[in-house]
Amino acid sequence: GEIKRAVFSLVNYLMPESVFTMRCSANVGSGGDVAIFLGREETGKTTLAVDSQRRLIGDHSHAWCDEGIFNLDWGGYAKLLNVNAAEQPEIYACTRKFGTLLENVTLDPQTRRLDLTDNSLTENSRGAYPISHLPNAIREGMFDHPRHMFLLTCDAFGVLPPIARLTAEQALYAFLSAYTSKFKQMASGEIEAEVMFNVSFGDSALALPAYAYGEKLLEKIKAHHVNCWLVNTGWSGEPSHRSARISISQSRALVRAAVDGAFDNVEFELDPVFQFEIPKESPDASVPGKMLNPRQAAADAGEYEMRANRLVAEFVKDFSKFEDKVPEEMRAVLSQIITVDDSFDFGEYDFTL
């Protein structure tokens, strides 16, 4: 892990002018169409990229140059907690192969079998393996420019939709904020969700100001007409303590629909708070239509609006920390992406996420 971070930090410093480096997974379809997945831990970046219907390019670090994209590490570093053969067969199989390094997992002392459901040591059990362990991975070096970009989040507050279509500017905002939820255990033993922002999906590896990477990303999205999507692999409609998480199979079905063009003939509606577009129906029957719009999936519409606006306030607060450090043109664009009604006092109602 430390070596990967060190190398990625180095290329982030050396390459930005000629090669844009990304902390992402990537795969390619039979027609050469490339999809990239950007996201923090627990958002499904590795899981969604490892798809039996597509070939894996790489799991973690990639570079995007004038000719296309290429992988930087030729290996996988997957989270293993609760990985199973039914939902993640390729990654599960890697845990049984010679040459995989397992971190923080437990073994039954009698049977010597792995227990991937055991989190007694940590939630962050890992498996590091060569890309050759995956039967659908390829190592041809250079691939075409991405056709689809998926910006992943795990929203524990049930505010964001399972999938939404983004403009290039909205994708830039999502890239710079890199929002997701993290969970911490309280003194009482209860698990509580918190808001987490992490600039460009890995601020500890950035050697230049974040906006330098953002400018390059926006330039490439527009130059190569990349379709951009927000994918929430967390909860939709209701927060984590009141509902079930979106399943891996449902997230995978929505991603496949996007890369296959199944959403091209679907009507979208504009979200009044975040301004992105939400599909009105799912091309895949495994995803209920009502689930696509969290506003409709929420049990109490008014309470949902409170949660949504409170989350927007967190975005605005986070953006204010570095808005003076970005060029005026970029600041003008980003400040129009999402806004919050300043006249509404959340503190008056003692309302927090």
How far is Cα 84 from Cα 173, in angstroms, rounded to an integer? 34
| pLDDT band at 321; cut points 50, 70, 90 | confident
Q: What is the pLDDT of residue 349?
A: 44
**In this predicted model, what pLDDT tens digit does every residue of 129-138 receive, in sequence order?**
998 898 888 8
Q: What is the pLDDT of residue 257?
A: 96
Q: What is the pLDDT of residue 345?
A: 52
For the record, the structure tokens of 54 come out as 């597509």
For the record, the structure tokens of 164 come out as 């939404």
Q: What are phi and psi of 100, to 5 degrees?
A: -80, 135
For the record, the structure tokens of 158 come out as 């049930």
For residue 273, how many C-alpha atoms fall within 13 Å in the half-sphere facing its CB?
A: 20
* Beta carbons of 316 and 331 less than 8 angstroms apart: no
Q: What is the pLDDT of residue 327?
A: 67
**In this predicted model, what pLDDT tens digit does every residue of 297-317 receive, in sequence order?**
999 989 999 999 899 888 888
Place of tokens 């002018």: 17
- What pTM did the predictor assign? 0.86
* Beta carbons of 131 and 76 less than 8 angstroms apart: yes
Which residues, including other chains, have CB under 8 Å from residue 225's CB and lie 6 or more apart?
none
3-state secondary structure the chain: CHHHHHHHHHHHHHCCCCCEEEEEEEEECCCCCEEEEECCCCCCHHHHHCCCCCEEEECCEEEEECCEEEECCCEEEEECCCCCCCCCHHHHHHCCCCCCEEECCEECCCCCCEECCCCCCCCCCEEEEEHHHCCCECCCCCECCEEEEEEEECCCCCCCCCEEEECHHHHHHHHHHCEEEEEEECCCCCEEEEEEECHHHCHHHCCCCHHHHHHHHHHHHHHCCCEEEEEECCCCCCCCCCCCCCCHHHHHHHHHHHHCCHHHHCCEEECCCCCCEEECCCCCCCCCHHHHCHHHHCCCHHHHHHHHHHHHHHHHHHHHCCHHHCCHHHHHHHCCCCCCCCCCCHHHHCCCC
**In this predicted model, what pLDDT tens digit does every residue of 88-98 receive, in sequence order?**
899 999 999 99
- The whole-number average pLDDT for the span 176-189 is 78
Q: Mean pLDDT check: name the lowest of 1-5, 220-224, 256-260, 265-269.
A: 1-5
Q: What is the pLDDT of residue 15?
A: 74
Closest CA to 74 of 88, 91, 60: 60
* Beta carbons of 263 and 279 less than 8 angstroms apart: yes
How far is Cα 278 from Cα 263, in angstroms, rounded to an integer? 10
201: pLDDT strictly greater than 80: no
Q: What is the pLDDT of residue 335?
A: 67
